[in-house]
C-alpha cells in the first residue's frame, strides 16, 4: 500500500494507556501495531501515514483498547517540529528494510532445505510474510522487488526437488471437481478461477481453505500445494494452468501476460492493465466483501478484460 504524494502527506498518531493488569491485552495491542506497520514516536505513541485504511485500523484498535479499560486517542498530525517529513519517511523505510532483510536471509538459505514437504511449508510461510510486509510498505522499499525475485527463484528450487515429472493431464479427471484456494482471493486467483470455469470445467466449484486444511479430492490452486497448481518457476498460477491444460487462445495469452505483471510485479511483459484490476480487488477486500463474492466479482472483471482484447 504505497503512499505516493509525499507533498501532501499527513500522519495519524495513536496514543493509549492500558491498566497494568491487562498484560495479555497489552501484548495483543502491540502485535496489532507491529502488523499495521507503525513506528513509535518516542513515548508519544505510534505513527502511521494518514489514509482511509490506516485510520480504520487505528479506530478499531482504539475501540478495543477502551473495551479493555484503557484510554486511546487518535490525533491527525500535519507535521512534527523536531522531525522533518523525510526523516519520518526514513523511519518507515528503515523498519520495512529490516523486515525485508530478514526474509532475504531466509530465502538465501532456501536451497539448504532438502525435504520437499519442508520446502513447501517454508516457502508458503515466507510468501505469506512477504505479502504482510508489502501491505504496510507505504513508501515502496527498493528491497521489495529483490524479495519478489528471490521468492521466484526459491519456487524454482522447489520444483527441482521433485524427482518425477508431472504426468500428462487428462482433462476428464478435472470435471465436476471442487477447486480450493486461500481466503481473500487476489488478481491471480480470481483470474485463475475464471480460466478454470471458462476453459477447463464450466461446472467447477470453488472453496477456500488454509494451506494445512485442504479437503481431500479437491484441486488446490495458488496454494503452493504439491498436488495442485501454483507458481512454477517464473510463472504465476494463471500461466501454470494455461500451460498445463494447453489452452491456446490468443486473448488468454494476452491476459496471462497482464496477470503475470500484476501478480509478480517484475514488468516482464510491460502490461499495465492488470494493476487496475488488482487495486479494485484490494479495495473490495478492504471493504470486507466475503471471499466467494470477491472471487465472483474478480471473475467478472477478467471476463470483461477478455472481451476487451
DSSP letter string, 214-253: PPTT-EEBSS--TTSB--BTTB-HHHHHHHHTT---HHHH
Average pLDDT over residues 142-159: 81
How far is it, in rounded angstroms, from Cα 267 to Cα 270? 5
Average pLDDT over residues 111-140: 75
How far is it, in rounded angstroms, from Cα 206 to Cα 186? 14
pLDDT of residue 163: 37
Instruction: Please report, rounded to a whole number, the percentage of residues in the chain having pLDDT higher than 70.
Output: 89
| Residue whose C-alpha cell is 478435472 | 174
pLDDT per residue as tens digits for the range 195-210: 999 999 999 999 999 8
pLDDT of residue 231: 86
| Residue whose C-alpha cell is 486473448 | 251
DSSP letter string, the chain: -----GGG--EEEEEEE--TT-HHHHHHHHHHHHHTT-EE-TTS-EEEE--HHHHHHHHHHHHHHHHTT-EEEEEEES-BTTB-HHHHHHHHHHHHHHHHHHHHHHHHTGGG---HHHHHHHHHHHHHHHHHHHHT-TT--THHHHHHHHHHHHHHHHHHT-SSPPPPP-GGGGTT-EEEE-SS--HHHHHHHHHIIIII-TT-EEEE--GGGPPTT-EEBSS--TTSB--BTTB-HHHHHHHHTT---HHHHHHHHHHHHHHH-S-SS---HHHHHHHHHHHHHHTT--HHHHHHHHHHHHHHHHHT-
| Residue whose C-alpha cell is 482504539 | 62
- Residue length, the chain? 309
Domain 6-83 has CATH 3.40.190.10: no
pLDDT of residue 22: 80
The rounded mean pLDDT for the chain is 87
Segments making up each domain of the chain, as ranges: 6-83, 86-160, 171-307
Residue 98's pLDDT band, with cuts at 50, 70 and 90, is very high
pLDDT of residue 51: 93
pLDDT per residue as tens digits for the range 47-67: 999 999 999 999 999 999 999
pLDDT of residue 3: 58
pLDDT of residue 165: 45
pLDDT of residue 216: 86
For 113-117, 152-156, 264-268, which range has the lowest pLDDT when averaged over its residues?
A: 113-117
pLDDT at position 2 over 60? no
Average pLDDT over residues 62-87: 93
Q: Which residue has the higher pLDDT, 119 or 303?
A: 303
Phi, psi of 12 (to 5 degrees): -115, 130
User: How many Cα atoms occupy the beta-carbon half-sphere of 3 within 13 Å?
Assistant: 23
How far is it, in rounded angstroms, from Cα 60 to Cα 127? 27
Residue 99's pLDDT band, with cuts at 50, 70 and 90, is very high
Amino acid at each position: 500500500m504505497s503512499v505516493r504524494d509525499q507533498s501532501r502527506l499527513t500522519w495519524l498518531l495513536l496514543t493509549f494507556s492500558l491498566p497494568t493488569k491487562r498484560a495479555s491485552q497489552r501484548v495483543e495491542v502491540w502485535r496489532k501495531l507491529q502488523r499495521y506497520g507503525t513506528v513509535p514516536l518516542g513515548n508519544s505513541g505510534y505513527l502511521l501515514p494518514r489514509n482511509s485504511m490506516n485510520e480504520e485500523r487505528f479506530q478499531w484498535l482504539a475501540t478495543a483498547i477502551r473495551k479493555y479499560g484503557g484510554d486511546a486517542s487518535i490525533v491527525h498530525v500535519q507535521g512534527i517540529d523536531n522531525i522533518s517529513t523525510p526523516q519520518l519517511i526514513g523511519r518507515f523505510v528503515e523498519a520495512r528494510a529490516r523486515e525485508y532483510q530478514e526474509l532475504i536471509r531466509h530465502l538465501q538459505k532456501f536451497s539448504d532445505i532438502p525435504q520437499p514437504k519442508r520446502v513447501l511449508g517454508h516457502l508458503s510461510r515466507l510468501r505469506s510474510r512477504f505479502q504482510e510486509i508489502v501491505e504496510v510498505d507505504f513508501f515502496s522499499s527498493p528491497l521489495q522487488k529483490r524479495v519478489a525475485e528471490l521468492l521466484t527463484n526459491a519456487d524454482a528450487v522447489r520444483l527441482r526437488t521433485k524427482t518425477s515429472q508431472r504426468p500428462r493431464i487428462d482433462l476428464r479427471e478435472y470435471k465436476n471437481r471442487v477447486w480450493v484456494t486461500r481466503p481473500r482471493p487476489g488478481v491471480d486467483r480470481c483470474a485463475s478461477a475464471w480460466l478454470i470455469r471458462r476453459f477447463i470445467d464450466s461446472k467447477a466449484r470453488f472453496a477456500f481453505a488454509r494451506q494445512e486444511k485442504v479437503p481431500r479430492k479437491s484441486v488446490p490452486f495458488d496454494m503452493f500445494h504439491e498436488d495442485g497448481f501454483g507458481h512454477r518457476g517464473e510463472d504465476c498460477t494463471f500461466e501454470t494452468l494455461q500451460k498445463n491444460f494447453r489452452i491456446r487462445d490468443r486473448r488468454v495469452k494476452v491476459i496471462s501476460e497482464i496477470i503475470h505483471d500484476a501478480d509478480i510485479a517484475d514488468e516482464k511483459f510491460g502490461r499495465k492493465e492488470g494493476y487496475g484490476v488488482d487495486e479494485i480487488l484490494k479495495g473490495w477486500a478492504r471493504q470486507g466483501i466475503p471471499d466467494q463474492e470477491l472471487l465472483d466479482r474478480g471473475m467478472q472483471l477478467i471476463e470483461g478484460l477478455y472481451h476487451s482484447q
